[in-house]
A and B are shown apart, each in its own frame.
Chain A
Amino acid sequence: MHNEGSNVISRRQLLVEDWKHTLYLWRQNKLAMVGTVLVAFFILIAIFAPLIAPYDPIEVDLSQTLLPPSSEHIFGTDQFGRDIFSRVVYGARIEVGIILLVTVISGTIGLAVGITAGYFGGVIDDVLMRITDVFLSFPNLILAMALSAMLGRGVFNAIIAISLVGWTIIARLARAESMKIKSLPYIEAIRALGASNIRILLLHILPMCMSPVLVQLSLRMGSIILTAAGLGFLGLGAQPPTPEWGAIVSDGRSYLVEQWWISTFPGLFIALVVLGFNLLGDGIRDMMDPRIRR
C-alpha cells in the first residue's frame, strides 16, 4: 500500500517536472516567445475590438473617402470613407471566429473518422482511409474555393468549406494514435469487463488521442487564416462589407497606386498574425522533439 502511494506522488511530481521543463524550453526559445506575444496581441485585439476601434467598421461616410493615414485615421480611409484601422480591428474578430469554428469542425470530423478507422481496422479502416485519400488529392485552397463557390459565397460557407478540406491530417493522426492505444493491455482489460465499443472509443481512446490532435490543430491555425483570407481576396469567401482581412486587401486593389494604405495594412496584419502562429508552432514542434527535449 505504502509503495503504491509514493508511486502516485512521484508520478504527479514527474508531470509537474515535465511542465516546468516545457516552460523552461519555451523561455529558451526566443522565437516562440515572439510568436506567443504576436498571437496574444491578436486575441486581445479581437476581444476588445469595440474599445480599440475609434469608428464603426461598416458605416459609410462619403465625406471622408480615400483619406491618407493621419492622426484622425491612422491607417487612412477607403473608397466608402470607412476607417481602415477600425475595419482591421473588427476583422480580428472575424478571423478568430473563423479559426475557432474551423478548428472545432475539422477537429471533430478528423477525430471521428480517425479513431473509428484505427480502432475497428479491416474494411472500415480501408474505406475511411480511401475517403481521406480522396480529400488529400486536392490542393486545399482549390477544393475550398470550389466548395465555397458552390455553397454560395459568404463567411459561414467559407468556414464549412475550409473545415471540409482540413480534417484529413487530423484523421490520419488520430488513426495512428488509436491503433497504438487499442493494443494496450488496459483496453483489453476494459473489454473483458464487458465495455461496449462505443464506450471504449469515447471514454478510453478519444481522450488519449486529444493531446497530439490539439497540437496538430494549433499548428494549422496560421494556414487557416491564410486560406480564409485567400478566399476573401478572390471574392469567394467573406463578402463586402464584412471586414475580413483578405476581403479588405481586395477592396484596395483598384486604388493600389495612389491609395496604397487600403490594401497594405490589413495584409500586414495577416502577415504578423500568421507569423506569430507559425513561430509559436515551430517552437511547439521543437519542444515536442525528443532529441531537443532529451
Chain B
Amino acid sequence: MKLETFIIKRLFLMLIVLFGVSVVVFVVARAIPADPVGAILGGNAPIELVDEMRRRLGLDKPLFDQFLDFMSGVVRGDLGVSIKSNRPVIKDIAEFFPATLELAIVAALISIILGVPLGIFSAVHRNKLVDHFCRVFSILGVSMPVFWTGLLLLILFYYRLGWLPGSGRVGIFTVMPPKVTGLLLLDSLLAGDFGAFKDALSHIILPAVVLGYSATASIARIMRSSMLDVLRQDFIRTAKAKGIGRRLVIYRHALRNALIPVVTVIGLTFGSLLEGAVLTETIFGWPGLGRYIVNSLLLLDYPAIMGGTLFVAVVYSLVNLVVDIIYAALDPRMRV
C-alpha cells in the first residue's frame, strides 16, 4: 500500500472511531442516572426552578434529540456552555490546554533524557549490577503513584527547603508575557523576558519531573530490548572484528539502529502523560485541562465533562495516528 492510501484509510477509520467516541461520551454523561440539575441547585430547589434549569440545559427533550443537538454542536465546534464558568466549553479548553501541553512536552523530554541512557546502560551491562540498578530505578518510577511522589517532593522542595514554588505556572507578581503559543516557556523567550522564563521554569520543574519520571520505564524498557537486539546482529560483530573500539560500536553503530522503535514508544508515552497530568495538575495546582476535567466531574458540570473528555480523546487519537504514520513511513510492512 502506498503511504498516501494508508494515511487516507487511517483518517477515514479515525472519523468512524471518533463518532463512536462521541457516542460513549454522550452516554456516559447523559444517559447514566446522575442528576446534574440536583447537583447545581441542591436537593431542596423549588420544582419550577428545576424545570426551568432542565429546559435551559435541554434536558427536557427526548434523549435522541439531545444526542442530535450534541453531535451537531460537536461538528460545528460548539461544545456547549460550562455550568460552572458560564463560558463556552471550547473557550475553557483553549485556555487550559496549552498548560497541559507544555507540562506534557517538558515531561516527555525528561522521560527521554532519563529513559534512553538507562536503557543503553542496561543493555550494554546486561544482567550485571548496573543493569539491575537501572531497571529498578526506571520501574520504581512507574510504580510510585504520581500523586504521592508529587506530595513528597512538595514537602521537601517547597515546604522544607523552599527552593521551588509549590503551585501554579508563574508567581503572582510575575507579569505574563504576551500570549503567542500559550506555552509560557516559549512565549517568555519570544518576548525576550528572561525573568518570566526563569519563573515559569522554576514552576514547571517539580510537576514535569514527577510526570516524566513516571513515563521513563516504558522508554527504558524498549530501549534496552531494542539495543540488545541490535547488539546481537552480524554487522556489530563485523564492526567489533574490524577492531573498532567498544564505545564507537555502541554509540555509532548500534544506537542509531536501536533508536527506531523507541521513537514510536515516545509517541505512545504521550497517552500516559495525559493521564498522569490529571493527577499531577491536581497536586501542583497546575491550571491545565486535567484539573479542569476533575473539577467538572466533582461538580457534575456535564457540558464541561463531555467537552473535556472528547477533546482529550481527539488529541490522543491524533497522536496515535501520527505515531502510526511515522512507523508506516519508516517500515512499509506496517501499512496494513
Contact = CB atoms under 8 A, between A and B. Distances in A.
Interface of A: 30-31, 130-131, 133-135, 137-143, 145-147, 149-152, 222, 226, 229-230, 233-236, 246, 249-250, 253, 256-257, 260, 263-264, 267-268, 270-271, 274-275, 277-279, 282
Contacts of B13: 130, 133
B104 to A, nearest CB: 11
A268 B143 CA distance: 10
B20 A131 contact: yes
B152 interface: yes
Given A31-B135, A138-B312, A138-B313, A270 B145 contact: yes
A165 to B, nearest CB: 10
B196 interface: no
B1 interface: no
A230 B34 contact: no
Interface stretch (B83-91, B200-208, B270-278): B270-278
Given A130-B20, A230-B145, A271-B148, A282 B135 contact: yes
Q: Is the interface of A mostly helix, strand, loop or mixed?
A: helix
A142 B135 contact: no
Question: Which of B24, B34, B136, B148 has most chain A Cβ within 10 Å?
Answer: B148
Nearest to B25: A146
B309 A256 contact: no
B309 A249 contact: no
Contacts of A277: 143
Contact of B145 (A130, A138, A249): A249
B47 interface: no
6 contacts: A139-B316, A267-B151, A267-B152, A270-B144, A274-B142, A282-B139
Interface of B: 13, 16-18, 20-21, 23-25, 28-29, 32, 34, 132, 135-136, 139-140, 142-148, 151-152, 154-155, 159, 217, 221, 271-272, 274-275, 278-279, 282, 293-294, 297-298, 300, 305, 309, 312-313, 316-317, 320
B279 A233 contact: yes
A271 B213 CA distance: 14
Given A137-B317, A229-B145, A256 B151 contact: yes
A275 B17 CA distance: 35
Contacts of A253: 151
Contact of A260 (B16, B155, B282): B155
A161 to B, nearest CB: 10
Given A137-B317, A236-B297, A256-B154, A152 B278 contact: no
Given A233-B145, A249-B148, A257-B155, A130 B279 contact: no
B177 to A, nearest CB: 30
Given A130-B17, A145-B294, A257-B159, A278 B142 contact: yes
A230 B139 contact: no
A37 to B, nearest CB: 14
Contacts of A256: 151, 154-155, 159
Contacts of B28: 143, 146-147, 150
A256 B157 CA distance: 13
A134 B18 CA distance: 7
Question: Which of A147, A226, A267, A274 has most chain B Cβ within 10 Å?
Answer: A226
Interface pairs A-B: 9 shortest CB-CB: A267-B148, A134-B20, A275-B143, A149-B297, A274-B143, A139-B275, A141-B275, A271-B144, A150-B32
Contacts of A145: 278, 293-294, 297
B316 A150 contact: no
Contacts of A250: 147
Contacts of B271: 139
A235 B295 CA distance: 11
B275 A142 contact: yes
Nearest to A150: B32
A207 to B, nearest CB: 29
A139 B147 CA distance: 17
A246 B272 CA distance: 19
Contact of A234 (B140, B274, B294, B320): B294
A137 B21 contact: yes
B29 A275 contact: no
Contacts of B274: 139, 142
Contact of B34 (A149, A236, A257): A149
A228 to B, nearest CB: 10
B298 A138 contact: no
A50 B316 CA distance: 44
A15 B111 CA distance: 41
Contacts of A139: 271-272, 274-275, 312, 316
B35 to A, nearest CB: 10
A152 B32 CA distance: 10
B203 to A, nearest CB: 19
Nearest to A277: B143
A274 B155 CA distance: 23
Contacts of B155: 256-257, 260
Nearest to A233: B147
Nearest to A134: B20
A147 B27 CA distance: 10
A270 B151 CA distance: 14
B151 A249 contact: yes
Given A146-B293, A256-B154, A278-B142, 17 more contacts: A130-B13, A138-B309, A138-B312, A142-B309, A143-B309, A146-B305, A149-B34, A151-B34, A230-B279, A234-B278, A249-B151, A256-B159, A263-B151, A270-B144, A271-B140, A271-B143, A279-B139
